[in-house]
Structure 1
Amino acid sequence: MNDAARSMHQPPAAADLDHRVLREHVASVYAAHTTATCAHIGFAIAIGIFGYLNIDSTHHLLVIGMVAAVVSMNLYALLAPRWTPDVPLSESHHWARRYTWIVTLVSVTTALPCALFLVLIQSPAMTTVVIVVIMVSWTRAIQARWPIKGAMFGCGIPVMGGLILALIWHGGTLHWFLALFSFANLVLTLHEGVKQNKRLTASLMLQFENEMLAAQLRERIAAVERASAEKTRFLAAASHDLRQPMHAIALFGAAMETALHDHPERTNAKRLMRAVDALGASLDTMLDVSHLDAGVVVSEPQALELDALLLVLNQTFTPYAEQKGLQLRIRASGMWVHSDIQLLFRLLSNLVDNALKYTHEGGVSVVARRRGDKVWLEVRDTGVGIAPEQLSRIFEEFYQVDNPGRDRARGLGIGLSIVQRLSHLMSHPIEVHSRPGRGTHFRVVLPQAEAAITAPAELLLDELEMPAHRSLAAPNLPGPVLLIDDEAEIRLAMAALLRAHAVDVVAVTDESHAVEALTHPDAKSLPFSMLLCDYRLADGGDGLEVGLRLLERFQLDIPLLLITGETAPQQLRRAQSWGVPMLFKPVSAAALLQAMAELTSVTGQARIFSPATRYFRDPSPVT
């Protein structure tokens, strides 16, 4: 089957690969074409001079004529149109065939003078010298045509075939020996040439296949990155759109719960708020991933008494374990580690929470062990276990073992993804071993530290406790709060909640109305005590810029608190760089009132809060 027919039966990628390989072969022979042709002209002239001097003078004109014919054919080959890199890939076969015909014509033209010299030379010694010189030159010419098999045969067979026939015709033992030797040399040289051609072709095929695979890999990586970016944008938009109504529901529900304090319907209000808190916790879990990916969470390691942290962990999860009829064993160790207290607490909380969710009998244990200068903090359970083929996937987002029905009680499947991110952030390697039906064993490797002065366990517990679990404490504000939010429902809900806790509110839609409120006579007699502003305002308005402009324009020495459903990493970093505290929707009443109380009681400090993310501290400017 010829090349064209073979290409028709191959898939497009393979046919294109063949064309690329042939193009490289054509480029290779044409790159050496000028040098090889000039060398052949020089060789023809040298043989002509040698023959002119060593044969009878009656044949001199014949020699000159044949040398002239050889030189003319080589000049034609030298001056004929040739392949260039601009030639289309599809024309590679045409140029390969053209090159083959040219070198074949040159070889046929050369074969006659060489054979004639052997017939005319009467000296055995001279005949041997001519044979050796022609063989050396011929072998070099064959090597230059290795990339194109047809050109290699077209260049080699006519010349050597003519010599062999001339030697046989001449007769005699020496000439027959030289004919046999030349024939063996022809066969072996062409055989080696075929093998070299296969090696060159295979090498080029491998090179181009690797390039194609690399290109495909780059395309797939780009596609995955685009899909990831699209997913991030979708989740950010969906999260923001979900957080807006959830925020209003949470605020209205908190206000209703307060209003129904002594009413029988207060039980239903509490149930409503539990459902709202559960949905808010799911949204905050997704927000944790955005926080970590945004780079706004910074690890601040210090010497930490591990038992104090384990005590908090025990008090946090013991009620949940008892509710499920499980045993929670957390063993004191007396060890100190070098870590970030809030990030480590969050990591361990996720591991213990995950262990309790997937354990139906037995219990969960948390044990610390000293190994050299390291501490192994291990969380073991007697749960369902994880199959070996699933171990590599448990840290993926939204992946859950043994939860095909997506039972909401088991969470979203993000907890271990957050564990892995925290592990990388703090440089605490995490290992996992599991046996289906026997349980799972997680190990966090921590650097050991020397004992140091630390806060009492009670203060540590208060620092790590979720704001949603704290009692409502209304802020003591000397004046009203200025609220800027473009959504009417949010303004009504926020005002209802704050007024239920004796906090006066002036709610406006945008910056121009805020200016009117700040220039109103009532604002001079009773100045505002705080500025609450939604991050994303109508018509692309930026709540951060609006709030900072108002503070500067009216020289206000009051706290600015942003409330947002925004989860885009760049927005989080931007707010952090200004040191402006931020609450993420849906905001619980406890978190809102506590944040307001902290901002009014601590002058000059800016903190970032989150209902379910307690590892945000006083932010430093982002460079």
Structure 2
Amino acid sequence: MDNEQRVKLEKVKLLYQQSPGLLVGLFFAGTAVFLFVLLEGRNVVSNALYFWYAALIVLITIRIVLYQFFQRAKEKLLNVTKWMMLFALMVMFSGLIMGGAILLFLDFSDPVSIVFLTIIIFGTFSGSMGALSNFRFIYCLYGSLTVVPLAILFYLEGNEFAYMSFLLGIFFVAHFFFANNMHKNIEDSIRRKFLNEELIKKLEKQTLIAERANMDKSRFLAATSHDLRQPLHSLSLFLAVLNAKLTTDEQKQILKKSQRSQEILSTQLNSIVEMTQMDAGEILLNPTGFWLKSFLEEIVEEFKLLAHQQNIVLKVRLIDGYVYYDAVLLARVIRNLISNVIKHCPNSTLLVASRKRADRVAIYIIDNGSGISEKDQTNIFSEFFQLNNSERDRNKGLGLGLAIVKRLVELLGVSIELKSQLGKGTCFKLELKQQGLQGALASAPKREEVVDVALDTKRLFIVVVDDDVDILEAMGTILKMWHHEILLAPSLKKLMRALSQERYSVPDLLIVDYRLTEHQTGVDVVNQVRLFFNKEIPAVIISGDTTLGLEALVNIEQTDIFYKPISDQVLKVILSQV
């Protein structure tokens, strides 16, 4: 169906949609004429009145039936012109009946009769304009059968009625022009409706394409990050092994630069994965209550060495408050903000402060660095946007830090405010709600202080399962270097075969990749080995898979999970906990 046919169909639908109102008006107008003539019309033959009113009722009934048929057929109309002509035919009969009332019942000797019937004809003609004007010929047809006969009768009567005839002519022409304008407005609105529908469809299509592209991007980045984490993990371990074998300062300096490059790559990969997870809605909130002062002090402590290396004076002015948020995500926000200052504002002063305001507490990250221009302030939270890094210095990251901050504060329900002035510095303000339970404030335990634990270097029997050959070799090499006994296996099947053929003692620790060959997982390995030895053996899953819900699934099996790549220092901490 072409566009013109669609417009015509919509106009026909409008005609029939307004039929109930037209029929109600026609019924009351006809009934009013019937009652008036019956009670006041002395010179009218009774049979003609009853016949006229019966014809009106029959016509209204037929039009109701036609309306019902149309309602059933309107979703699959094939012949639009047929339904339009049927409606026009019904309007013509309505005009004949109402026009017939003038011929039958108008009494020029009775002023009340003249006024009453003129008002009825005027009323029905004017009242039907809105419904009939989307087809001008139908409206004109009804007027020709009602108003025109009345004007002719006035003209033929002569005298003062001739002036009434002239006025009726002006009335008819004026209404036709009004109906014509209304017709144009209706057609324009219908055409705009179809245009908007087409635009909405295009928008929905483009939105769907964009959503699919975003999902494809997220899946691609998730798969890519998993594949990149594997070699990064083995690289980290091999570099740690190499560090123990180097003898000269020059060699160790080169290795240090290699390790720094590996750390930068790992950080950038984690930033991309983090953005992907937020785009995919894979980060879930885990709010807990905690004291803000000790929470911030721990984070600031992490940056003291880095700040010193950049010649940054790190100051802290904190007041305490009890808040209820996801501590892990909030810490990530604050770390990103502090890290951003350390990367971009060397030789400056950095203040981390907090202040209470009514039922809220504000956290301030303030520096007196170079500041941010008003133009750049609108882009600072955009992905991959960086200031003063046209050369794309990799040590300054990818420009995702503040984009991640923006996403995380929206997820946490925390407001963030940026104030900055070129040459004077920058202030980031985070506003949090304080926990309202005063009893909880009094009894809530403060965060435990971090205690340095000397790493236990006792000899362990460790089982390592990973389907990546390089990772397996790297893990084996570094664990042997630390004097541990090891059993390496690329799959669950080969591990169980080795355990069955040799008389191994119970392992002290299982280190297992999550996603293995033959659709098996690290959880399957842990359960099988524990069942084989009939003992709850400590286990750690080290995975490159960051799928939503994986951590909860692993924790059900009383197993810890770490994400690749991990450094040799993290691995030492894991072993020290056994």
- Identify the TM-score tier after normalising by the shorter chain: 0.7 to 0.9
1:163 aligned partner = 150
Contact 1:111 1:163 in 2 (8 A): no
Indicate how the Cα distance of structure 1 residues 48 and 299 shifts in structure 2: closer, same or farther if over 3 A, else same.
Answer: closer
Letter of the structure 2 residue corresponding to residue 460 of structure 1: V
Letter of the structure 2 residue corresponding to residue 328 of structure 1: V
Encode CA deviations 1:470-523: one digit per residue, 9 max, x unaligned.
Answer: x9x564244x21111112222111101110111121111211222123223431
Contact 1:296 1:576 in 2 (8 A): no
In structure 2, C-alpha distance between the alignment counterparts of 1:223 and 1:184, rounded to whole Å:
58
State yes or no: 1:547 paired with 2:526: yes
Letter of the structure 1 residue corresponding to residue 264 of structure 2: A
1:491 aligned partner = 472
Deviation of 1:559 (Å): 0.7
Encode CA deviations 1:388-407: one digit per residue, 9 max, x unaligned.
Answer: 45434433443334445533
Deviation of 1:284 (Å): 3.1
Indicate how the Cα distance of structure 1 residues 73 and 170 shifts in structure 2: closer, same or farther if over 3 A, else same.
Answer: farther
1:233 aligned partner = 219
SS of the equivalent of 1:569 reads coil
1:366 aligned partner = 352
Choose from 428, 449, 458 the match for 1:476: 458
Indicate how the Cα distance of structure 1 residues 235 and 141 shifts in structure 2: closer, same or farther if over 3 A, else same.
Answer: closer
Indicate how the Cα distance of structure 1 residues 40 and 507 shifts in structure 2: closer, same or farther if over 3 A, else same.
Answer: same
Deviation of 1:256 (Å): 1.8
Contact 1:114 1:159 in 2 (8 A): no
In structure 1, C-alpha distance between the alignment counterparts of 2:74 and 2:290, rounded to whole Å:
67
SS of the equivalent of 1:26 reads helix
In structure 1, C-alpha distance between the alignment counterparts of 2:77 and 2:302, rounded to whole Å:
72
Indicate how the Cα distance of structure 1 residues 503 and 37 shifts in structure 2: closer, same or farther if over 3 A, else same.
Answer: same
Encode CA deviations 1:2-26: one digit per residue, 9 max, x unaligned.
Answer: xx9xx67xxxxxx96x467525413
State yes or no: 1:511 paired with 2:492: yes
In structure 2, C-alpha distance between the alignment counterparts of 1:455 and 1:74, rounded to whole Å:
82
Which piece of structure 1 moves more, 76-85 or 105-114? 76-85
In structure 2, C-alpha distance between the alignment counterparts of 1:529 and 1:230, rounded to whole Å:
42
Choose from 15, 19, 25 the match for 1:26: 15
In structure 1, C-alpha distance between the alignment counterparts of 2:328 and 2:297, rounded to whole Å:
12
1:575 aligned partner = 554
State yes or no: 1:597 paired with 2:576: yes
In structure 2, C-alpha distance between the alignment counterparts of 1:70 and 1:239, rounded to whole Å:
79
Which piece of structure 1 moves more, 408-417 or 182-191? 182-191
Gaps spanning 5+ residues in structure 1: where? 9-14, 464-470, 601-623
In structure 1, C-alpha distance between the alignment counterparts of 2:225 and 2:406, rounded to whole Å:
22
Letter of the structure 1 residue corresponding to residue 320 of structure 2: W
Deviation of 1:534 (Å): 0.7
1:98 aligned partner = 85
Contact 2:307 2:314 in 1 (8 A): no
Count of paired positions: 566
Which piece of structure 1 moves more, 161-170 or 118-127? 118-127
Deviation of 1:263 (Å): 8.4
Contact 2:264 2:395 in 1 (8 A): no
Indicate how the Cα distance of structure 1 residues 218 and 288 shifts in structure 2: closer, same or farther if over 3 A, else same.
Answer: same
Contact 2:107 2:114 in 1 (8 A): no
Contact 1:367 1:378 in 2 (8 A): yes
In structure 1, C-alpha distance between the alignment counterparts of 2:354 and 2:157, rounded to whole Å:
98
Gaps spanning 5+ residues in structure 2: where? 435-440
State yes or no: 1:338 paired with 2:322: yes
2:262 aligned partner = 276
1:399 aligned partner = 385
In structure 2, C-alpha distance between the alignment counterparts of 1:85 and 1:361, rounded to whole Å:
80
Contact 2:107 2:113 in 1 (8 A): no
State yes or no: 1:301 paired with 2:289: yes
Encode CA deviations 1:60-107: one digit per residue, 9 max, x unaligned.
Answer: 99x999999999998987887974464468969636752564256436
Deviation of 1:354 (Å): 0.5
SS of the equivalent of 2:450 reads helix
Letter of the structure 2 residue corresponding to residue 294 of structure 1: E
Contact 2:264 2:397 in 1 (8 A): no
Encode CA deviations 1:309-357: one digit per residue, 9 max, x unaligned.
Answer: 44862x5444444544x43241444x22325776555433321210232
Encode CA deviations 1:10-50: one digit per residue, 9 max, x unaligned.
Answer: xxxxx96x467525413324455766777798799889999
Contact 2:222 2:273 in 1 (8 A): no
Contact 2:291 2:447 in 1 (8 A): no
Choose from 542, 548, 571 the match for 1:563: 542
1:615 aligned partner = none
Which piece of structure 1 moves more, 429-438 or 407-416? 429-438
Encode CA deviations 1:401-456: one digit per residue, 9 max, x unaligned.
Answer: 44455331111222223434554566543211123454321012356777998578
Deviation of 1:232 (Å): 1.9
Indicate how the Cα distance of structure 1 residues 247 and 127 shifts in structure 2: closer, same or farther if over 3 A, else same.
Answer: closer
In structure 1, C-alpha distance between the alignment counterparts of 2:423 and 2:83, rounded to whole Å:
67
SS of the equivalent of 1:386 reads coil
State yes or no: 1:531 paired with 2:505: no
SS of the equivalent of 2:428 reads strand
Which piece of structure 1 moves more, 446-455 or 481-490? 446-455
1:75-86 maps to which residues of 2 (within 5 A)? 83-84=70-71, 86=73
State yes or no: 1:443 paired with 2:429: yes
Encode CA deviations 1:121-150: one digit per residue, 9 max, x unaligned.
Answer: 666665555444444454455565355444
Deviation of 1:236 (Å): 0.8
Letter of the structure 2 residue corresponding to residue 516 of structure 1: R
Contact 1:543 1:562 in 2 (8 A): yes
Indicate how the Cα distance of structure 1 residues 245 and 46 shifts in structure 2: closer, same or farther if over 3 A, else same.
Answer: same
Indicate how the Cα distance of structure 1 residues 429 and 460 shifts in structure 2: closer, same or farther if over 3 A, else same.
Answer: farther
Letter of the structure 2 residue corresponding to residue 354 of structure 1: N
SS of the equivalent of 2:243 reads helix
Indicate how the Cα distance of structure 1 residues 184 and 547 shifts in structure 2: closer, same or farther if over 3 A, else same.
Answer: same
Letter of the structure 2 residue corresponding to residue 156 of structure 1: G
SS of the equivalent of 2:385 reads coil
TM-score, normalised with respect to structure 1: 0.74
Contact 1:294 1:572 in 2 (8 A): no
SS of the equivalent of 1:54 reads coil
Choose from 119, 129, 132 the match for 1:145: 132
Indicate how the Cα distance of structure 1 residues 401 and 595 shifts in structure 2: closer, same or farther if over 3 A, else same.
Answer: same
Choose from 134, 141, 157 the match for 1:154: 141
In structure 2, C-alpha distance between the alignment counterparts of 1:56 and 1:370, rounded to whole Å:
93
State yes or no: 1:356 paired with 2:342: yes
In structure 2, C-alpha distance between the alignment counterparts of 1:65 and 1:447, rounded to whole Å:
80
Choose from 244, 251, 254 the match for 2:237: 251
Indicate how the Cα distance of structure 1 residues 148 and 553 shifts in structure 2: closer, same or farther if over 3 A, else same.
Answer: farther
SS of the equivalent of 1:294 reads coil
In structure 2, C-alpha distance between the alignment counterparts of 1:76 and 1:356, rounded to whole Å:
84
In structure 1, C-alpha distance between the alignment counterparts of 2:222 and 2:98, rounded to whole Å:
79
Contact 1:74 1:106 in 2 (8 A): no
Indicate how the Cα distance of structure 1 residues 76 and 44 shifts in structure 2: closer, same or farther if over 3 A, else same.
Answer: farther
SS of the equivalent of 1:274 reads helix
In structure 2, C-alpha distance between the alignment counterparts of 1:151 and 1:110, rounded to whole Å:
16
Indicate how the Cα distance of structure 1 residues 260 and 19 shifts in structure 2: closer, same or farther if over 3 A, else same.
Answer: farther
Contact 1:70 1:109 in 2 (8 A): no
Contact 2:466 2:512 in 1 (8 A): yes
Contact 1:385 1:437 in 2 (8 A): yes
In structure 2, C-alpha distance between the alignment counterparts of 1:285 and 1:104, rounded to whole Å:
71
